[in-house]
Amino acid sequence: MTTAPAGPWTTGRIAEVERPTDRLVRLRLEVADRVDHLPGQHYVVRLRAPDGYTAQRSYSVASDPVDPLLELMVECLPDGEVSSFLHDEARVGDVLELRGPIGGWFTWTGEVPAIGIAGGSGVVPLVAMLRYADRLGLADRLRVVAVGRTYADLPYAAELERRGAFLALTRENHHDRVAHPPYPDELAPLVDGVERAYVCGSVGFASFATRLLGEVGVLARTIRVEQFGATG
């Protein structure tokens, strides 16, 4: 798939800010000269110091393309220069430099039945896909497995569950499911008939999830991966 060139830098004014946990910040922005995004795409946020120094990072979009505001859910990384600033400092009315939407690979618009497996803040692009799917009546074409340590830690946990995602919590029991990463027999029924798989999460999670998909028969060439974070 070919996408248009990433647009020029623009600005976004923070219209809403919420800190659902001590590691997450949810920003909703009014974007100047906004270009419609596809579910799964990301934006670059650039911060600028008075002396001209800049720092920038990419964040996946959580909002449905028709949402008048652009929603980003940012996880605060240890020593994260941009994420820490957004978590600790950002407030309504602040203006941030933005560029996007970017990325033509990790996108889903309902063209094929798909499964998405995400760990932690990796759920963000899948939230955009689920919101889009629900609005267009395509919910039966997208199955989502969301993996988190605890319910409170997992971004959008309640919304994911309401939209039919399978939640696999690894550090606490959830309903009658005992804490554990997803098992192959939990995944197997969900991959029936899917033609594409999306994996999003940390490096360790992505490697776990691609291996798990392989175990239940998903072909490697149908898997699209978005990984973040560092290896030691």
Partner 1 sequence: MPVTRGFFGRRDRRERSHRLPPGQYDAGADWPVLTAEATPVIRPEDHTMTVDGLVERPTTWSWPELQALPGSSYAGDIHCVTTWSKLGTRFAGVSVDTLLEAAGPRPEAAYVMAHSTTGYTTNLPLADVTGGRAWVVWEHEGRPLPVEHGGPARLLVPHLYFWKSAKWVTRLELMARDRPGFWEQNGYHDRGDPWLEQRYQGDP
What's CA 198's distance to the chain center, in Å? 11
The least distance separating partner 1 from the CB of residue 196, rounded to whole angstroms, comes to 12
Token code pair at residue 186: 């939990």
The least distance separating partner 1 from the CB of residue 227, rounded to whole angstroms, comes to 6
Pick from 13, 62, 57, 3: which is nearest to 34 by CA? 13
Between 132 and 228, CB nearer to partner 1: 228
The least distance separating partner 1 from the CB of residue 26, rounded to whole angstroms, comes to 18
Q: Which residues bind partner 1 (CB under 8 A)?
A: 1-9, 11, 46-50, 53-58, 81, 85, 89, 94-97, 99, 102-106, 199, 203, 206-207, 210, 213-214, 220-221, 223-232
β strands within 149-195, DSSP E: 166-169
Whether 166 and 154 have beta carbons less than 8 Å apart is answered as: no
Between 213 and 216, CB nearer to partner 1: 213
Please tell me the number of Cα atoms within 13 Å of 81 on its side-chain side. 11
Between 160 and 223, CB nearer to partner 1: 223
The least distance separating partner 1 from the CB of residue 104, rounded to whole angstroms, comes to 4
Please tell me the number of Cα atoms within 13 Å of 154 on its side-chain side. 27
Between 47 and 138, CB nearer to partner 1: 47
Between 178 and 220, CB nearer to partner 1: 220
The least distance separating partner 1 from the CB of residue 6, rounded to whole angstroms, comes to 4
- Cα angle value 128/64/129 (rounded, 5°): 30
Q: Give strand pairing partners of 96.
A: 12
